[in-house]
Amino acid sequence: MNFLIIFAKIMANNDINKPTISEATSRNWARLHSDSSGRLMSRANKQLSTKTVLPLEYFSNKENIADIQRFVTFCKEKNYKVEDVIYSMGVELLKKAGIFGKPHVAAALNSENSEYLEISELSESADCLELSALPPLPSDEADLLGLLYQCFLLEGEKNRKGSYYTPLEVARNMTKGLDFSKGQTFFDPCCGSGAFLLALDGASPEQVLGCDNDPIAVMIAKINLLLKYKSQVFEPQIIKCDYLKYYFKYKNSYIISNPPWGAVIFDEKNNPISTKESFSFFFEKAFNQLEEGGTIRFLLPESILNVKTHRNFRKFLLENTDIQSITKYPGTFAGVQTRYIDIACGRRNSRDAARHVPTFDFGSSIINDVSLQSFQLTNNLNFNLLSDSDLEKVQKILAKKKYTLKDSIWALGVITGDNKNKVKSRKGRGMEPIYTGKEIEAYTLKQPRKFIKYKRTDYQQVAKDEIYRADEKLVYKFISKNLVFAYDNSKSLFLNSANILIPRIPGMSIKTVLAFLNSELFKFIYKSLFGEIKILKGNLLELPFPEISTETDKKLTELVDEILKGNKEAVNDIDDLIYSIFSITNNQ
């Protein structure tokens, strides 16, 4: 039986803290999100995409976009093979550089490209009426061949290959200041068209190595190196191979790369840092290939800093490496929403836990030194990039922690499986209000805008009625930059953009818990520790509830009642009281 169907049956008998899903849901999951082995296929749609995404971040000059698009369109209309187009344009560039006929160039091209054909029509000297209407390809692109290749690739291909090439300004930033004066070697295990290799200063071609499993990318990288070192006789040390399966005998001084992200790998054998994503496997192997005193620096998704899935990766860095820097970049790759960072580190020589890590915002001259203590404040070892003053406040708040929400009741809102037909904007006969996350404000609910005819068996996923119909419950936005909790005593229903909490904390009423959750202090501590735009149960379970007196509980409850009656000024009184409970001064 499919794993997801088995999982659905388990869920159907779960306790009050977990939602119940229907057989229809399990069948949908099995149909849409798994292969024959039951593995989740969450990226399937992206990997099948036939859309072309223009790699804007890879252009050196945005004024070249139209000319590049016209050239690519011409080649596609002619049904030229992309490998033949790239090879032909590579030959043109080598001819312009005056090195095409040299033996070492011929040897480099023939080693990988014997099956590629030169398209005579693409030669600038070709007598081709159609092509003559096109402008010549630009000469001011740092990696013209790599750019062309990216423009040919479909979104699905790029996603499957992890083929998102590193902008040259990022590659230069990650390779600046490297010393090659004592024979140090540079290696990129996922070199693509060679962005990092092109960005190097001070290295001879013999000190530069790379590999990639894409034969076209390897061809481009070789041509790019031949052009970069056109006055020297050498054969580029670029290997076509699967890095994870290939044996490399020698260690390297610098290993800097932008490995593929997102490819799910299930074989976790002998990998202490597996995150089920390919970059963790690349990092683990590269780290073992690093010379003593060397530097490894990888471009990674920003989620590496705080997402639970990557905990083992962060744990490995803390226990085995000397983290040298973390740099955050402002942009994203075309077709990918994830922002990215780079982490540089070496082999650990000292276990000084008080050390600081320099962190940078790319394009800014400001450097923040972050204590490693900031990385050990949460169960998931989130890399919280806190200033010393914020770290002091966070530690002071956490020191007051006596209770958590672990004994509370949690539930998801209703998942209908068909909102279009089952959720209405007007109330009809037999229908009742159902709130969404948009109606949740701090402490109170806006007027409902949606209505539903509630019948449990009609919906894809529901919690138990005793939770929805509880005399008192708290509801909160799931997607939000801040904690936003509201009080509900109307026994109302909520859609799955809202989550439900019935807190159980000794010495606190439900309204007192609500006051803590909506306070400025809790918003600060949540953002400092977790920094996500999703309000996750696992993170809420780490929030530090203090021990308070009966009088304080009564006072906070009364203040919440004032807010529920419309007195918004009581919000400030709640904040002041909670600051005092945690001994946070006005200065802080």
pLDDT digits (tens, 9 = 90+) for 144-165: 999 999 999 876 555 565 567 8
What are residue 381's phi and psi, to 5 degrees?
Answer: 55, 45
What pLDDT does 352 receive? 52
CB within 8 Å of 90: residues ≥ 6 apart: 109, 145, 219, 220, 223
What pLDDT does 54 receive? 85
Q: What is the mean pLDDT of residues 76-86?
A: 93
32: enclosing H helix or E strand: helix 23-33
What are residue 503's phi and psi, to 5 degrees?
Answer: -75, 150
DSSP annotation of 92 reads H
CATH for 439: 3.90.220.10
Residue 82 has pLDDT above 70, yes or no: yes
Residue 4 has pLDDT above 90, yes or no: no
Instruction: Please report whether residue 119 resides in a domain.
Output: no
Expressed as residue numbers, the domain containing 481 is: 409-581
For residue 452, what are the β-bridge partners?
423, 432
What pLDDT does 53 receive? 76
Instruction: Please report whether residue 203 resides in a domain.
Output: no
Span between the terminal Cα atoms of the chain, in Å: 58
Spatial contact of 533 and 481, defined as CB atoms under 8 Å apart: yes
Residues 338-367: tens digit of each pLDDT: 789 999 999 887 655 448 999 999 988 888
Residue type, 450: K
Residues 20-30: tens digit of each pLDDT: 444 444 444 34
Q: What is the mean pLDDT of residues 304-309?
A: 91
- Of 5-14, 93-102, 219-228, the one with minimum mean pLDDT is 5-14
b/e for 365-394, b at 16 or more Cβ within 10 A? eeebebbebbbebbebbbbbbbeeebbebb
b/e for 99-117, b at 16 or more Cβ within 10 A? bbeeeebeebbeebbeebe
CB within 8 Å of 353: residues ≥ 6 apart: 372, 373
Instruction: Please report whether residue 290 resides in a domain.
Output: no
- Give the tokens for residue 273: 């840092």
Instruction: Please report whether residue 11 resides in a domain.
Output: yes
Residues 409-451: tens digit of each pLDDT: 999 999 999 999 999 999 999 999 999 999 999 999 999 999 9
Instruction: Please report whether residue 171 resides in a domain.
Output: no
Ramachandran class of 311: left when φ > 0, alpha when ψ lies in -120 to 50, beta otherwise = alpha
Instruction: Please report whether residue 475 resides in a domain.
Output: yes
pTM of the model: 0.84
pLDDT band, residue 272 (cuts 50/70/90): low
What pLDDT does 361 receive? 92
- Give the tokens for residue 55: 């790699």
Instruction: Please report whether residue 12 resides in a domain.
Output: yes
Radius of gyration (C-alpha) of the chain in whole angstroms: 29
Residues 523-537: tens digit of each pLDDT: 999 999 998 788 999
Instruction: Please report whether residue 540 resides in a domain.
Output: yes
CB within 8 Å of 231: residues ≥ 6 apart: none
| Among the listed residues 134, 144, 158, 155, the one whose alpha carbon sits nearest the alpha carbon of residue 59 | 144
- The size of the chain, in residues, is 588
Q: How many domains does the chain have?
A: 2
Spatial contact of 218 and 90, defined as CB atoms under 8 Å apart: no
| Among the listed residues 450, 387, 385, 454, the one whose alpha carbon sits nearest the alpha carbon of residue 423 | 450
- Give the tokens for residue 152: 């040919």
Spatial contact of 19 and 11, defined as CB atoms under 8 Å apart: yes
